[in-house]
């Protein structure tokens, strides 16, 4: 059954998707960011010049793809798919929404809704801080 919440989420996704093309400033376009998970591993986030991103999660060895937008000091990531989505369709949709606060050469996660079926999270530790490694 489609609820009002589902309609609002779908409309938000549509508006976000339509309004993201080419709106990120040149300062973050093409930049690479890393978040240390252990002393030997890290997650990576590449904000590509075309307004799209690739996020590598080292814990599950998977890449995620989507679009990004910078709104003032907040970087919004809308995840569209995962690397293995076609191979494992039973996992369901990998759509997600993430928000990061841009603080110089740091991206600090402030919001995560890793599945549109569950409520968002806003409580994060230092694992969710990405440092710029390539301008």
Structure confidence by residue, pLDDT tens digits, 61-117: 989 999 999 999 999 999 998 887 777 666 666 688 999 999 999 999 999 887 767
Q: What is the pTM for the complete model shown?
A: 0.74
pLDDT band at 134 (very low <50, low <70, confident <90, very high): confident
Q: Which of 99, 93, 102 is nearest to 121 (CA)?
A: 99
**Helix or strand holding residue 65 (H, E):** strand 62-71
Answer for the pair 16, 69: CB distance below 8 angstroms, yes or no.
Answer: yes
Report the alpha-carbon angle 47-79-127, nearest 5: 70
Q: Which of 49, 105, 57, 101 is nearest to 79 (CA)?
A: 57
Domain limits, the chain: 4-134
Which of 13-22, 26-35, 38-47 bottoms out in mean pLDDT, i.e. has the lowest?
A: 13-22
How distant is the alpha carbon of residue 74 from its chain centre?
Answer: 12
Query: From residue 7, how far is each of 2, 13, 43, 96 by CA, in Å?
Result: 7, 10, 32, 16
* Rounded Cα–Cα distance for residues 80 and 116 (Å): 11
3-13 pLDDT per residue, tens: 444 434 444 54
Instruction: Record the tokens describing residue 87, joined without a space.
Output: 């191979």
Q: Is CATH 2.40.128.640 correct for 4-134?
A: yes
């Amino acid at each position: 059954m489609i609820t009002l919440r589902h309609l609002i989420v779908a409309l938000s996704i549509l508006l976000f998707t339509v309004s993201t093309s080419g709106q990120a400033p040149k300062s973050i376009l093409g930049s690479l960011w890393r978040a240390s998970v252990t002393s030997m591993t890290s997650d990576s986030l590449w904000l590509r010049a075309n307004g799209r991103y690739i996020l590598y999660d080292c814990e599950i060895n998977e890449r995620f793809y989507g679009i990004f937008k910078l709104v003032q000091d907040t970087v919004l990531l809308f995840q569209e798919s995962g690397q293995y989505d076609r191979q494992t369709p039973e996992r369901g949709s990998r759509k997600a929404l993430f928000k990061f606060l841009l603080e110089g050469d740091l991206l600090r996660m402030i919001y995560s809704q890793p599945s549109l079926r569950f409520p968002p999270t806003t409580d994060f530790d230092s694992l969710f801080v990405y440092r710029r490694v390539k301008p």
